[in-house]
């Protein structure tokens, strides 16, 4: 493609020779020499943004003052608040968020034609890669046919979506699709798509080198920062605007320096390190900030471990976690099959333009933390949040305290009708380690087994997610744990649903080369697919008898996964406690099947001779792992597996699509529908109006995640979304998931605020997506919202701290808007969701002066009016009148979180896509 740079100034544009070629680039040292400021102490992460300003400076969108602001930032100790227009090089998508994004683009083509414009104006101007990775579900597991059967079911369920995506690949420029069964988008991005230093031709036909940058429609886009590629997650609506040439509005961020020292000890993994980093950074507070890792500890930290840390930036709340270019970056690029000329360019460019981390690297940071990696111990995180760090030797005790907290005041004994279909009564209860009488029990009898389930029984153990499956050290480690366990005669417990879902086919290649896959198969970790699976909630159904036992006896079913998210209701509707762990620990927990067991000292089971087996007996040494990685993770494996990455299997090649400029929306489809956003849209923007007489749709607590707001997993036929599909003759077996239905706004509206664990404080002791309708009676959130919409009544949501944490899913904002919510008032917002709300025309507000929903005594029966919006300025404080149920009023002040001037325009237009569409139609 051709990039249009802002200017061709001889002051900052220079040339560089590398790999036998001469390329142009925009020089930071030259900008200093030209008197634009002192940039020598900027962190590398911020230099990437500075280079972007140099390249696109045009005196209008980007000015010389924008460039000088970076020098001021360094001089002010890492502080600055200047608004910038930032243009990433490319966009990355996955299918759950990518389908609705392509739906929006298709709808915009219809919309621009209705406004008298050219449909071809709706085309990505920047390269877009969409990787289909979120659709495979674990229906089959624990046997050699699991992979093929899951792939077959994936195509059966999702053919409508795949046909639509393939149409999009043909209809839009600069848009490529990586077919199903290839890998997870972030791992494909890290291992293949990313280049660290990008090149393109400019409008003059000259090749320009610049830092590889991107935004992605998934929060874990940050993973590629481990390879010094600056990227972060945005909502689909913001990504669509970036595709269409709209710069991303951002303030110069604070940059937190995280110094790593020392070396990892024997027996610890990169996962253990990242869980401690998440805990530390959450406590420090890094929302909307960059985190850059530096220090001599990086000299011994493999890029795979760096990518694991970078991947979990959303979990510690940062915009990104960045690692500068150094020798390890070059080693990784070489080992993963990148072109050698490209690697030479990366080194030359980084050293020439001040991006290289050498021994004297010591920039200015806004604040700093330090961690000696020699203090890291094995750990897990849970049961509900990634930052809930637990040292492994305290895990069983911590779980016991968690159960005690839930069961306090309850009768912990099971219901009389426990699940048991054997002859006579249920057997005598078996011992639960550490139980003080708080645990509930149930019993399962199948054709093959009879066993007890209880609070803490591990029913899901999954090696899943790009976070860890991209790391050969922990994957080889898991294989060696399986090998040693299988040799001793151990295997998974019969109630544990085990799965292995690598993030790329390269993982299978090196597990096969190391002869470890057969060992993983032996303990139940057969390949189930290449995709996100359990981490995104596609864990598939548990065996019917296990699910029934859990639900009949109100048991706290448990999962252990090597993923990055463990929010309530995400992993499985049958599982209440979820723990993040390294892949080797996932295998170990599958063997023991019980969170109540202290696996650091208790027996995992008996060997073939009846002797106890302990974790130390099956845990590999660091040298064993490193030797196998060195032997089997090869450049040739990466080159071979990525040679035909866009080709796909016979099923993908057989998907037939129409060749047409606009999409012929199938009226009967329950997957793809033309959304209402642009229908009947006027040519001119509107005005922001005050909110008068709004009612409360939901009163929510702290850490309401985007999973709570817009769940991705399965749903039942009794839900509004289930009823919608049932009315259209879709059997429950074919419901698929909310995530797969994101191309249909009718399903997604009904699924908004429908998480089974969300608690609306307007109702006493009720879990799930319920509220009060205009008549004051309990009903579903969706039905209440539609009743208020019919009455012409605007709605507001109240929340607590960290509202909108978690995934970058735009449907959390889209669904909120379509329900008729005009404002969300919370104590604080997570970065991406705040931006998404603005992008959909919903105004976010924060309490001020110590006010909260609790201090105000809100019950949800209030009427809310917010004024001052007709003359709103960025970050302005505005008055709010709350009329209580008894007629009394409270006057409070809210901070409007429309943060920038361009966001004011977005709200005036009704959303960012409306803004872009009107501008394109006029042009």
CA 201, CA 199: separation in Å to the nearest integer?
7
Q: Between 152 and 66, name the one with better pLDDT.
A: 66
CA 707, CA 566: separation in Å to the nearest integer?
10
Residue 410: the pLDDT is 66
Judged by DSSP in three states, 840 sits in coil
**pLDDT surpassing 80 at residue 411:** no
* 8 Å CB contact between 832 and 235: yes
Task: Outline where DSSP puts E strands in 301-427.
Answer: 320-322, 367-372, 379-381, 389-391
Last residue of a domain, one of 592, 620, 648: 620
Residue 34 lies in a domain: no
- The percentage of the chain sitting over the pLDDT mark of 70, rounded to a whole number, equals 97
* 8 Å CB contact between 703 and 805: yes
Question: Backbone phi, then psi, for 188, in 5-degree steps?
Answer: -60, -40
**pLDDT surpassing 90 at residue 519:** yes
Best CA proximity match to 583, nearest among 307, 271, 303: 271
pLDDT (mean) for 724-731: 96
Residue 698 lies in a domain: yes
Last residue of a domain, one of 620, 646, 678: 620
Secondary structure (DSSP) of 606-629: E-TTS-EE-HHHHPPPHHHHHHHH
**pLDDT surpassing 60 at residue 8:** no
pLDDT tier at 412 (50, 70, 90 boundaries)? Answer: low
Question: Backbone phi, then psi, for 135, in 5-degree steps?
Answer: -95, -30
Residue 246: the pLDDT is 86
Q: Between 366 and 237, name the one with better pLDDT.
A: 366
Residue 104: the pLDDT is 92
Both 363 and 439 in one domain: the answer is no
Both 580 and 611 in one domain: the answer is yes
Total length of the chain: 923
Residue 2: the pLDDT is 62
Both 148 and 176 in one domain: the answer is yes
Lowest mean pLDDT among 46-50, 494-498, 556-560, 802-806: 802-806
Residue 415: the pLDDT is 53
Residue 740: the pLDDT is 85
Residue 530: the pLDDT is 85
Lowest mean pLDDT among 323-337, 423-437, 449-463, 695-709: 423-437
**Paired tokens of 143:** 């046997």
Residue 751: the pLDDT is 96
The order of strands in the sheet holding 13-18 is 2-3, 197-202, 207-211, 21-26, 13-18
**pLDDT surpassing 90 at residue 806:** no
Both 95 and 160 in one domain: the answer is yes
Chain centre to alpha carbon of residue 469: 15
User: What is the average pLDDT value for the chain, to the nearest integer?
Assistant: 92
Chain centre to alpha carbon of residue 346: 28
Lowest mean pLDDT among 79-83, 510-514, 591-595, 790-794: 79-83
Residue 392 lies in a domain: yes
Both 852 and 867 in one domain: the answer is yes
Residue 156: the pLDDT is 87
**Paired tokens of 244:** 């269409």
Residue 897 lies in a domain: yes
Residue 134: the pLDDT is 80
Which pairing describes strands 877-883 and 863-866: parallel, antiparallel, or unpaired? antiparallel
Q: Which residue has the tokens 């790593």?
A: 260
pLDDT tier at 547 (50, 70, 90 boundaries)? Answer: very high
CATH number, domain containing residue 775:
3.20.19.10
pLDDT tier at 43 (50, 70, 90 boundaries)? Answer: very high
Residue 742 lies in a domain: no
Four-CA torsion 265, 268, 272, 276, nearest 10 degrees: -20
pLDDT (mean) for 169-183: 92
Both 756 and 613 in one domain: the answer is no
Last residue of a domain, one of 570, 596, 620: 620
pLDDT tier at 538 (50, 70, 90 boundaries)? Answer: confident
Judged by DSSP in three states, 21 sits in strand
Chain centre to alpha carbon of residue 696: 29
* 8 Å CB contact between 286 and 318: yes
**pLDDT surpassing 80 at residue 568:** no
Both 489 and 391 in one domain: the answer is yes
Residue 345 lies in a domain: no
**pLDDT surpassing 60 at residue 370:** yes
pLDDT tier at 423 (50, 70, 90 boundaries)? Answer: low
**pLDDT surpassing 70 at residue 227:** yes
Q: Which residues pair with 145 in a beta bridge?
A: none
CA 915, CA 142: separation in Å to the nearest integer?
50
Considering just the CA atoms, what is the radius of gyration of the chain in Å?
27
Residue 270: the pLDDT is 93
Most confident of 10-14, 175-179, 569-573: 175-179
CA 178, CA 129: separation in Å to the nearest integer?
7
Q: Which residue has the tokens 């253990």?
A: 272
Sorted by sequence, the CB contacts under 8 Å of residue 713 that are 6+ apart come out as 536, 537, 538, 569, 570, 571, 572, 573, 737, 738, 739
pLDDT tier at 20 (50, 70, 90 boundaries)? Answer: confident
**pLDDT surpassing 90 at residue 234:** no
Q: How far apart are the first and last CA of the chain?
A: 21
Both 600 and 701 in one domain: the answer is no
Q: Between 806 and 788, name the one with better pLDDT.
A: 788
Burial environment of residue 452 by CB neighbours within 10 A (0 to 12, 13 to 18, 19 or more): buried
Residue 392: the pLDDT is 97
Both 797 and 892 in one domain: the answer is yes
Residue 605 is part of which domain span?
379-620
Both 366 and 386 in one domain: the answer is no
pLDDT tier at 413 (50, 70, 90 boundaries)? Answer: low
Residue 4 lies in a domain: no
CA 622, CA 625: separation in Å to the nearest integer?
5
Four-CA torsion 458, 464, 470, 471, nearest 10 degrees: 10
pLDDT (mean) for 299-316: 95
CATH number, domain containing residue 105:
3.30.499.10
Q: Between 176 and 5, name the one with better pLDDT.
A: 176
Number of domains comprising the chain: 3
**pLDDT surpassing 80 at residue 718:** yes
Q: How many other CB atoms are found less than 10 A from the CB of residue 163?
A: 18
Residue 314 lies in a domain: yes
pLDDT tier at 466 (50, 70, 90 boundaries)? Answer: confident
pLDDT tier at 7 (50, 70, 90 boundaries)? Answer: low
| Nearest-5° Cα angle at 51, 45 to 54 | 150
pLDDT tens readout for residues 264-281:
999 999 999 999 999 999
CA 577, CA 579: separation in Å to the nearest integer?
7
Both 529 and 480 in one domain: the answer is yes
Both 591 and 616 in one domain: the answer is yes
């Amino acid at each position: 493609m051709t990039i249009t740079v802002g200017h061709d100034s001889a002051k900052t544009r220079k040339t560089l020779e590398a790999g036998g070629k001469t390329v142009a680039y925009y020089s930071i040292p030259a900008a200093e020499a030209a008197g634009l400021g002192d940039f020598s102490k900027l962190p590398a992460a911020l230099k990437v943004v500075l280079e972007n300003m140099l390249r696109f400076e045009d005196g209008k969108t980007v000015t010389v003052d924008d460039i000088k602001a970076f020098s001021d930032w360094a001089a002010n100790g890492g502080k600055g608040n200047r608004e910038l227009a930032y243009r990433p090089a490319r966009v990355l998508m996955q299918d759950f968020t990518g389908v609705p994004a392509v739906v929006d683009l298709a709808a915009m083509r219809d919309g621009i034609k209705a406004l008298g414009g050219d449909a071809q104006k709706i085309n990505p101007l920047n390269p877009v890669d969409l990787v289909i990775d979120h659709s495979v579900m674990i229906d089959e597991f624990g046997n050699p046919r699991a992979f093929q059967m899951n792939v077959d079911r994936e195509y059966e369920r999702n053919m409508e979506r795949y046909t639509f995506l393939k149409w999009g690949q043909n209809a839009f420029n600069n848009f490529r699709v990586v077919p199903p069964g290839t890998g997870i988008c972030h791992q494909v991005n890290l291992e293949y798509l990313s280049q660290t230093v990008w090149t393109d031709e400019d409008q003059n036909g000259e090749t320009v080198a610049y830092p590889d940058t991107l935004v992605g429609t998934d929060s874990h886009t940050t993973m590629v920062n481990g390879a010094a590629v600056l990227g972060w997650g945005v909502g689909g609506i913001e990504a669509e605007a970036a595709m269409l040439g709209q710069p991303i509005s951002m303030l110069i961020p604070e940059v937190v320096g995280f110094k790593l020292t020392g070396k990892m000890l024997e027996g610890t993994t990169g996962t253990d390190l990242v869980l401690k980093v998440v805990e530390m950074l959450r406590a420090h507070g890094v929302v909307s900030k960059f985190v850059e890792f530096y220090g001599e500890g990086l000299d011994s930290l493999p890029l795979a471990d760096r990518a694991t840390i970078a991947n979990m930036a959303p979990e510690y709340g940062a915009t990104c976690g960045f690692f500068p270019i150094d020798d390890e970056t070059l080693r990784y690029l070489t080992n993963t099959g990148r072109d050698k000329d490209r690697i030479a360019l990366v080194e030359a460019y980084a050293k020439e333009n001040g991006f290289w981390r050498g021994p004297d690297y010591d920039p200015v940071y806004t604040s700093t933390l330090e961690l000696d990696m020699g203090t890291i111990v094995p750990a897990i995180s849970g049961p509900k949040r990634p930052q809930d760090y637990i040292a492994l030797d305290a895990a069983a005790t911590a779980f016991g305290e968690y159960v005690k907290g839930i069961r306090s005041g309850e009768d912990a004994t099971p219901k009389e009708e426990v699940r048991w279909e054997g002859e006579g009564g249920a057997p005598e209860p078996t011992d639960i380690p550490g139980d003080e009488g708080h645990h509930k029990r149930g019993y399962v009898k199948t054709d093959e087994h009879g066993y007890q389930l209880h609070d803490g029984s591990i029913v899901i153990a999954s090696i899943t997610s790009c976070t860890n499956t991209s790391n050969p050290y922990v994957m080889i480690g898991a294989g060696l744990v399986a090998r040693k366990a299988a040799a001793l005669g151990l295997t998974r417990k019969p109630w544990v649903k085990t799965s292995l879902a690598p993030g790329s086919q390269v993982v299978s290649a090196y597990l096969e080369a190391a002869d470890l896959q057969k060992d993983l198969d032996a303990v139940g970790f057969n390949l189930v697919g290449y995709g996100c699976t359990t981490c995104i909630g596609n864990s598939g159904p548990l065996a019917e008898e296990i699910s029934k036992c859990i639900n009949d006896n109100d048991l706290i079913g448990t999962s252990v996964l090597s993923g990055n998210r463990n929010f309530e209701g995400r992993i499985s509707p049958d599982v209440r406690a979820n723990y993040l762990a390294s892949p080797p620990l996932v295998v170990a927990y599958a063997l023991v099947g019980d969170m109540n067991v202290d696996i650091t000292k208790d027996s995992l089971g008996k060997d073939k001779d009846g002797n106890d087996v302990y974790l130390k007996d099956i845990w590999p040494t660091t040298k064993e792992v490193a030797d196998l990685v060195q032997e089997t993770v090869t450049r040739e494996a990466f080159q071979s597996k990525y040679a035909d990455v866009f080709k796909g299997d016979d099923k993908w090649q057989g998907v037939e699509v129409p060749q047409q400029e606009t999409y012929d929306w199938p009226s009967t489809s329950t997957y793809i529908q033309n959304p209402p956003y642009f229908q009947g849209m006027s040519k001119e923007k509107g005005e922001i109006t005050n909110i008068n007489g709004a009612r409360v749709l939901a009163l929510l607590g702290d850490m309401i995640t985007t999973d709570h707001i817009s769940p991705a997993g399965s749903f039942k036929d009794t839900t509004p979304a289930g009823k919608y599909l049932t009315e259209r003759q879709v059997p429950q077996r074919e419901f698929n998931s909310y995530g797969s239905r994101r191309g249909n706004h009718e399903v997604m509206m009904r699924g908004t605020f429908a998480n089974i664990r969300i608690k609306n404080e307007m109702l006493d002791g009720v879990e799930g997506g319920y509220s009060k309708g205009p008549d004051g009676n309990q009903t579903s959130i969706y039905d209440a919202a539609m009743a208020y919409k019919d009455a012409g009544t605007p709605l507001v949501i109240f929340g607590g701290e960290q509202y909108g944490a978690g995934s970058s899913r735009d449907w959390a904002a889209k669904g909120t808007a379509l329900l008729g919510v005009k404002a969300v008032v919370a104590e604080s917002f997570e970065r991406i969701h705040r931006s998404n709300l603005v992008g959909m025309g919903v105004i976010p507000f924060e309490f001020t002066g110590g006010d909260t929903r609790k201090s105000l005594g809100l019950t949800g029966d209030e009427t809310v009016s917010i004024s001052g919006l007709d003359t709103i300025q960025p970050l302005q404080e505005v008055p709010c009148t709350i009329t209580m149920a008894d007629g009394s009023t409270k006057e409070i002040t809210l901070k409007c979180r429309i943060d920038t001037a361009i966001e004011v325009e977005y709200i005036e237009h009704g959303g960012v896509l409306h803004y872009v569409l009107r501008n394109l139609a006029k042009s």
